[in-house]
A and B are shown apart, each in its own frame.
Chain A
């Protein structure tokens, strides 16, 4: 505690601190950024040389990246453990379907699905935010079920069996897959970037604080509920984008599929193995989950057993997931959102601090 002898408590005020330097990015951030751009460009060019089967698989992976990223923003940062994000996957898909039935192209419908679902999420948040913890979780699931029962009442939407998305046959099968893939890539990349930009913003500092200690965040003046609402609406938008892509890639919208709680299981699993509360975690988790799925798919029931064991092992021994293990070992950060501060020595001023 000797270092504290020079605290402000005894030292006079150090004048205007012109030497205070607050910086955001870390060394190597430009390389990571360049790598990211190159990676996305490579992914975008993939349909030009990869097999159709592979591209189809990647569509599913990109959907998973988007929804896992959004679930992580909810549960990993602001503590909203939703098990009802399929509500927005469903609304996204159904908005595309309804618009397509009325002559709007499916890909234009995707944009409207995102906006429409985000708008829907605002009144929905009034409802579910009245509850917290387990009650919140249950409420989100109930809401998704209510939405499913609601759309099933419309015979024009195919009732309980669903309906095909009209108008997709104007593209040839090859072209449709390409466009679908690019849409999926767009939704996934936008999801990650929007969460990253959100976390880098002033609100992001609040979200990170809420992640670490919600009561503490309130006590320093953070309007936590408003911050949660922003994340909830963003997550609705991202999941709706994913839902729209699902509708397009499966060529039809089935209520039992798009409103299935299985989506929540996927996003949850991806986030938990990747590392909750980081931007990188859900992306890596989605890839890991996807690879496991591909490798184990041939073993039927074993597939689920192994996935379950992996999830349990991670929960017990690696709470912070694959990314948590990697990041602390390698001191690595692909998406720098933090701040660094230092005092630049100025000869004109008395050296401040320690």
Chain B
């Protein structure tokens, strides 16, 4: 069943378009990965879903309800939990208190139940030992964990993770992936959740998600199985000129990198392809185009 649906959502900041007639569906308990270059509109997409940003056009539907007019607090209470790319800890509160607010306000728990929920979120994210420390004293990794703990404590049905793996080492990324899997499986005692995971670091997502979309200039330029999407020429165009191609591919593409396009040219190029790719997102036969071998273009 569809949990979240974006229907032709458009959002512009002056001449910058962060969402261009964007449509997207997320199924219950799905783990959807979102990749895209800097400035593609990934964070803005989350803000539109979580209610921090109001779209200019289009509908946001959650669990069958149009939520355009709801504020972010109400959306959280409905079951949309988000983390912020730049963590927003309550610095002068303890780590436990940070999560306790979330359990009380977001999940609507009271008294003992809220404490239990808060603490179990801290355990899930590996922060239990820091429970009584001021959140302001945490390092970056712990701040990202705290973002996740807080979002989890609101008992979400949909969890939006915004670059929680950015800036982390490989082992740390693996840990984070394990946490997300754990939270998602419902093994933590709560109901299973759908996850939308934005990551600039593709390696965190590739082995984890069932489905991947690539966002560029506010549009979905590819949507499908992770390996298909990463092999998609339009996607590779967008990522060329950045260091985000996986190392193995980067080597295989040696000659191509020699004459890579400038970022703007790449974006124009992808914009031309955009129509076709959107189509491919809908039609299974067209989507199989993306499975062509990397060198086959």
Chain B contacts of A9 at CB under 8 A? Answer: 124, 126, 175, 178-179, 181-182
Chain B contacts of A341 at CB under 8 A? Answer: 96, 115, 118-119, 131-132
Q: A221-B73, A353-B129 are in contact. Are A338 and B93 (CB under 8 A)?
A: yes
**B94 an interface residue at 8 Å Cβ cutoff?**
yes
Question: Would you call the interface of chain B mostly helix, strand, loop, or mixed?
Answer: helix
Bound CA–CA A23/B118 (angstroms): 14
Bound CA–CA A208/B118 (angstroms): 17
Q: Which stretch (A84-92, A210-218, A295-303, A309-317) binds chain B?
A: A210-218
Complex contact A8–B76 (CB within 8 A) = no
Complex contact B119–A221 (CB within 8 A) = no
**A339 an interface residue at 8 Å Cβ cutoff?**
yes
| Residues of A130-162 whose CB lies within 8 A of B | none
Contact check: which of B100, B151, B172, B175 meets A339 at CB < 8 Å?
Answer: B100
| Residues of B165-198 whose CB lies within 8 A of A | 171-172, 175, 178-179, 181-182, 187-189
**B104 an interface residue at 8 Å Cβ cutoff?**
yes
Nearest-CB residue, chain A, relative to B136: A212
**B72 an interface residue at 8 Å Cβ cutoff?**
yes
Chain A: minimal CB distance from B23 (Å): 24
Bound CA–CA A223/B72 (angstroms): 9
**A1 an interface residue at 8 Å Cβ cutoff?**
yes
**B92 an interface residue at 8 Å Cβ cutoff?**
yes
Contact check: which of B51, B135, B188 meets A13 at CB < 8 Å?
Answer: B188
Chain A contacts of B98 at CB under 8 A? Answer: 209
**B231 an interface residue at 8 Å Cβ cutoff?**
no
Complex contact A277–B92 (CB within 8 A) = yes
**B25 an interface residue at 8 Å Cβ cutoff?**
no
Complex contact B84–A212 (CB within 8 A) = no
Complex contact A216–B187 (CB within 8 A) = no
Complex contact A221–B106 (CB within 8 A) = yes
Complex contact A4–B92 (CB within 8 A) = no
Q: A13-B187, A341-B119 are in contact. Are A208 and B84 (CB under 8 A)?
A: no
**B154 an interface residue at 8 Å Cβ cutoff?**
yes
Number of A-B residue pairs, CB cutoff 8 Å, is 155
The size class of the interface chain B forms with chain A is 35 or more
Nearest-CB residue, chain B, relative to A320: B92
Chain A contacts of B50 at CB under 8 A? Answer: 219
Bound CA–CA A296/B122 (angstroms): 52
Q: How many residues of A contact B (CB 8 A)?
A: 41
**A7 an interface residue at 8 Å Cβ cutoff?**
yes
Chain B: minimal CB distance from A328 (Å): 10
Complex contact B115–A206 (CB within 8 A) = no
**B123 an interface residue at 8 Å Cβ cutoff?**
yes
Bound CA–CA A206/B90 (angstroms): 10
Complex contact A209–B101 (CB within 8 A) = yes
Chain A: minimal CB distance from B139 (Å): 10
Nearest-CB residue, chain B, relative to A7: B126
**A17 an interface residue at 8 Å Cβ cutoff?**
yes
Complex contact B123–A222 (CB within 8 A) = no
Complex contact A222–B101 (CB within 8 A) = yes
Complex contact B123–A10 (CB within 8 A) = no
Contact check: which of B89, B104, B119 meets A20 at CB < 8 Å?
Answer: B119
**0/1 per residue, B117-158, Cβ < 8 Å to A?**
011100111101101100100000100000000110110000
Complex contact B88–A213 (CB within 8 A) = yes
Contact check: which of B52, B104, B123 meets A8 at CB < 8 Å?
Answer: B123
Complex contact B106–A352 (CB within 8 A) = no
Bound CA–CA A7/B187 (angstroms): 13
**B237 an interface residue at 8 Å Cβ cutoff?**
no
Complex contact A13–B189 (CB within 8 A) = yes
Complex contact B101–A219 (CB within 8 A) = no
Contact check: which of A4, A213, A277 meets B175 at CB < 8 Å?
Answer: A4
Complex contact B179–A17 (CB within 8 A) = no
Contact check: which of A4, A14, A216, A354 meets B90 at CB < 8 Å?
Answer: A216
Nearest-CB residue, chain B, relative to A18: B116
**A98 an interface residue at 8 Å Cβ cutoff?**
no
Chain B: minimal CB distance from A325 (Å): 15
Chain A: minimal CB distance from B44 (Å): 14
Chain A contacts of B106 at CB under 8 A? Answer: 220-221
Bound CA–CA A208/B229 (angstroms): 44
Chain B contacts of A14 at CB under 8 A? Answer: 123
**0/1 per residue, A326-347, Cβ < 8 Å to B?**
0000000000001111110000
Q: A3-B129, A224-B73, A353-B128 are in contact. Are A216 and B88 (CB under 8 A)?
A: yes
**A350 an interface residue at 8 Å Cβ cutoff?**
no
Chain A contacts of B108 at CB under 8 A? Answer: 221
Beyond A13-B188, A216-B89, 17 extra complex contacts between A and B, CB < 8 Å:
A6-B126, A7-B182, A8-B124, A8-B188, A209-B101, A211-B90, A212-B89, A216-B90, A218-B51, A218-B73, A219-B52, A220-B151, A221-B105, A221-B154, A223-B74, A338-B94, A353-B129
